[in-house]
A and B are shown apart, each in its own frame.
Chain A
Amino acid sequence: MPRVGVFICHCGTNIEGVVDVEKALDEMKNYPSVSYATDYKYMCSEPGQNKVKDAIGKNRLARVVVACCSPRMHENTFRRCIEEADLNPYLIEIANIREHCSWVHPDNKEEATKKAIELIKASVAKVIKNEPLFPRYVPLTKRVLIIGGGIAGIQSALDTASAGYETILLEREPSIGGRMAQLDKTFPTLDCSACILTPKMVDIAQNKNIKLLTYSELEEVSGFIGNFNVKIRKKARYVNEEKCTGCGVCYTKCPKKLASEFDLGIGIRKAIYVPFPQAVPNIPVIDKENCIYFIKGKCKVCEKFCPANAIDFEQEDVLIEEKVGAIIVATGFDTFDPTVFQEYGYGRYKDVITSLQFERLINASGPTGGEVKRPSDGKHPKRVAFIQCVGSRDDTVGRPYCSKVCCMYTAKHTILLKEHEPDSKSYVFYIDIRAPGKGYEEFVRRAQEEYGATYIRGKVAKIYERGGKLVLKAEDTLIGKQVEIEVDLVVLAVGIEPKKDAKDLARKLNISYDTYGFYNEAHPKLRPVETLTDGIYLAGVCQGVKDIPDAVAQGSAAAAKVCGLFSSDELITDPLTSVVDKDLCVGCCACISACPFNAIEEEVLEERTGERIVAKVNETLCKGCGVCVATCPSKAVSLKGWTDEQVLREVEILVGSRK
């Protein structure tokens, strides 16, 4: 029987104020399984830890029980402590006599003392059966994949690249830039969005550590932290990227005009196009679905005019395989489609547009060159209504959450409109104004006081057209009356929602998402950029609604996490994992479907009697949750550090069948 030492902590008066430590110590000193027992005011302090270390040496202790606070607090502290005394760090048990005892039973000292003694005895019973365990070291690929080239992904990529790590930035659109590239000015400083974004886009293109893959999508991911294998589909651009000089002759000459996705249908693009003039890379793509040559078999005007001979109609998709050690997901968002609100007539009335369309309309590099012209007849609108919370804070469309940015961008819109059209008048219909940010509330007040926007608290019930104008019927809840106003243009402040295919990507990456499809962080407060899948991090709006500064901050935070991971050459994995006894395993593989971390796979054994399938645990992926242990019908799986024998010995003490 190994020699066990018990160390009881007073935790100041946290434990000692309720539990009779002296009595417990006395009991442990006379307990046959215990060779040595002592107490101390703060066992986690340096003198306390020294007491443990000294006792191990002097009393030849082989197992240690510390009765103190929760193992979540100090288990690692004491593991390191006994390791310094040359004991394997897994030969320790923590008896939680604070959270599980003194804190919850402050009124019953006698019973609490009894319970503390039982908890310590249970730990002693378990620790006797503890085995030395050794962590595994796994090699690490120090390359990172960043999915999504919006501002969050761009920030992450610049940060990991400047730390010296190879970075792959993956973007499904022909250019990076994301949503921020579509915006005109940014609140509350009214910086030009493109002016602060494009230098970063150029940095991406020029950084030697960054491999930029645009017009490319993630196909498949396998592997685990430090060792992911990813398959990427690089879609055919039909333009040779090496030869193209970005001169733009092709899209000037292309005869096919289409509604531009980047301009949200307000502007036009050609069948061969770059989404916007500052695109990175400045290499066009051919939209195969709409290209005259691909449809009818002739045209090739772009090819004829291209001075660099870069058009290549024969190009095909390419599958690229890469090994990376970490993945940052920064896939951004879509905006709410307001056509479901028939009362607003979006799609029916040309002059009812979304806020993102308004950004394009007022943008100097937009389809109107920054002149505010309404879509129906090109007239400059003089009276404009803005309706907030369209697809936000609305249970009827499954969007009960606040989209956080709409109050601010609407205030910005009223200011920009006034600057473009000094004799214009803005009306804002709102539920509440939410402006919690640096300089935000001041900004909204400026919109009202300096720029004269009229804010009406109430929802719009109906919009209809009358004589070339739009009539809004609404309720002004502050004066308790119905109002009717006539305007030239209506802007719907559409809410933010996850990308349409956010869930598909989540399945590929094995990360979780919430009711709406926003990706879940590992902890809502303390681990905001990690996912529950090791090695996969989140940045930007794909995790939840946020404005530009928050998205940039999260981009940097995710990059810092990756840099931290890459700072060592090997990954140390926790040895408290499951292990399969191959002799007992019948190969039913119930554990594989039960495992929430995809950590178990089939293994084929070559035996004299033929092939036999058994389960095999990938110790790097295993989190030691024990679901497989409970699932296995033949008791072939066990959890290291928590074997059935160990747990049963604890239980026997607690139910009183073992003394």
Chain B
Amino acid sequence: MKLAYYPGCSLEGTAKEYNLSTKAVCKALGIELIELPDWNCCGATSAHATNHLLSIVLPTRNLIKANELGLDLAIPCSACFNRMKTSDYYIKRDKKIKEEVEKLLGRKYTANSKINHLLGIFAEDKINAIIASKVVKPLQGLKVAPYYGCLLVKPPKIVEFENAENPQSLDNLIITLGGEAVSDFAYKTECCGASLTLTREEIVLGLVNKILKDAQLRGADCLVTICPFCHFNLDAKQKDVERKFKANYNLPVFYFTQLIGLALGISPKELGIDKHFVNPLELLKSLELA
């Protein structure tokens, strides 16, 4: 399998370990990732708040590059995925926007690349079976709260992900890896506050507190995310949340690619597991997973 890979800005910075683990896991599974040449920022949270056209032009430039490679896209970040799907949605439905965007970019959008979130690819039956066959270190005893966040699943008519309110692909993946999915985790698709972490931190802390509280209540040892935003808020902000709400969570937060990597026997270091704020090594060691 060969895919066009759009890492997005976060994976070069705060979510470096997401990039590392994605590449390591894909290599192990025989998935070839061709990084888009000369890709640009998708605009994420800021572009669509300032200029509608700009918020479509930025992702479309990347989509066109994937079109030109003739490959389907794999996008690890939910915000990037959401923006790409949104641009595709508007361009397909609005002739005027399509013309404007193509004029600005000087190239045609052919829409021949399927836009996938990385999770969508790993959730495919075929890939899931490959993963299952390559698991050497099942995540036995690890109780994982599957946290999908909101940008991957909403709005459903645009992102077209399996189920907006009660998705299952991450749950199933955890089970494939031999772990235990906390299936009644109520906050699996609730918003973490995303980029408000920079401008209105108190909102993010409140939202993250609710998410962590519910995960703890349901008996989770850790959470798994699929988005750099979510990861940053749940992991890097966890100490602030504990302080503000006088709580004690100590819940490690993994990228789903890191969990796959662990189960496939890739070393924690290679997966960037040492880069988290909430140290997961103690938990992993107690279960003999690291």
Contacts and interface: CB of A to CB of B under 8 A. Distances in A.
B158 to A, nearest CB: 13
User: Which bucket holds chain B's interface residue count?
Assistant: under 10
A504 interface: no
A390 to B, nearest CB: 14
A: interface residue count bin = 10 to 19
B166 A465 contact: no
B186 A471 contact: yes
B166 A342 contact: yes
Interface in A457-483: 462, 464-466, 471
A466 B186 contact: yes
B164 A464 contact: no
Contacts of A471: 186
B110 interface: no
A343 B164 CA distance: 8
Instruction: Summarize B's interface: helix, strand, loop or mixed.
Output: loop
A341 B186 CA distance: 15
Nearest to A345: B166
B174 to A, nearest CB: 19
A46 to B, nearest CB: 65
A348 B166 contact: yes
Contacts of A464: 184, 186
Interface in B125-167: 163-166
Contacts of B214: 466
B160 to A, nearest CB: 15
Contacts of B198: none
B217 interface: yes
A121 to B, nearest CB: 52
Contacts of B166: 342, 345, 348
B101 to A, nearest CB: 28
A342 B163 contact: yes
Nearest to A465: B184
A341 B156 CA distance: 12
Contacts of A348: 166
With most chain B CB atoms within 10 A of its CB, the pick from A343, A462, A464, A466 is A464
A179 B163 CA distance: 33
Interface string A325-360: 000000000000000011101001000000000000
A471 B218 CA distance: 14
B186 A465 contact: yes
B217 A466 contact: yes
Contacts of A345: 166
Contacts of B164: 342
A32 B157 CA distance: 72
A466 B187 CA distance: 11
* Interface core residue of A342, A343, A348 (most chain B CB under 10 Å): A342
Contacts, number: 19
A465 B190 CA distance: 15
Nearest to B218: A466
Determine which residue in B163, B166, B186, B217 has the highest number of CB atoms from chain A within 10 A of its CB, and name it: B186
B217 A342 contact: no
A348 B167 CA distance: 13
Contacts of A466: 186, 214, 217
B172 to A, nearest CB: 16
A265 to B, nearest CB: 21
Contacts of A462: 165, 186, 190
A343 B186 contact: no
Interface in A642-658: none
Contacts of B190: 462
Interface string B252-265: 00000000000000
Nearest to A340: B165
A342 B184 contact: no
A343 B165 contact: yes
Interface string B170-209: 0000000000000010100010000000000000000000
A473 to B, nearest CB: 9
A348 B166 CA distance: 10
Q: Which of B165, B190, B217 has the most CB of A within 10 A?
A: B165
A97 to B, nearest CB: 49
Contacts of B217: 466
A327 B184 CA distance: 53
Contacts of B186: 462, 464-466, 471
Contacts of A341: 165
Contacts of B163: 342
A519 to B, nearest CB: 31
B47 to A, nearest CB: 27
B276 to A, nearest CB: 27
Nearest to B157: A396
B188 to A, nearest CB: 9
A348 B184 CA distance: 10
B189 to A, nearest CB: 9
Nearest to B217: A466
Nearest to B165: A342
A464 B190 CA distance: 12
Interface in A94-140: none
A43 to B, nearest CB: 58
A384 B214 CA distance: 22
A420 to B, nearest CB: 30
A157 B273 CA distance: 76
Nearest to A471: B186
Interface in A560-615: none
Interface string B220-261: 000000000000000000000000000000000000000000
Interface in A429-484: 462, 464-466, 471
Nearest to B164: A342
A345 to B, nearest CB: 8
A462 B217 CA distance: 18
A471 B184 CA distance: 13
Contacts of A342: 163-166
A86 B87 CA distance: 77
A348 B186 CA distance: 12
A238 to B, nearest CB: 42
Nearest to A464: B186
Interface in A173-191: none
B169 to A, nearest CB: 14
A345 B165 CA distance: 9
B207 to A, nearest CB: 11
A375 to B, nearest CB: 18
A41 B184 CA distance: 83
A343 B217 CA distance: 20
Interface in B18-62: none
**8 closest A-B pairs (Cβ-Cβ)?**
A342-B165, A464-B186, A343-B165, A342-B166, A342-B163, A465-B184, A342-B164, A466-B186
Given A345-B166, A348-B166, 17 more contacts: A341-B165, A342-B163, A342-B164, A342-B165, A342-B166, A343-B165, A462-B165, A462-B186, A462-B190, A464-B184, A464-B186, A465-B184, A465-B186, A466-B186, A466-B214, A466-B217, A471-B186
19 contacts: A341-B165, A342-B163, A342-B164, A342-B165, A342-B166, A343-B165, A345-B166, A348-B166, A462-B165, A462-B186, A462-B190, A464-B184, A464-B186, A465-B184, A465-B186, A466-B186, A466-B214, A466-B217, A471-B186
Interface of A: 341-343, 345, 348, 462, 464-466, 471
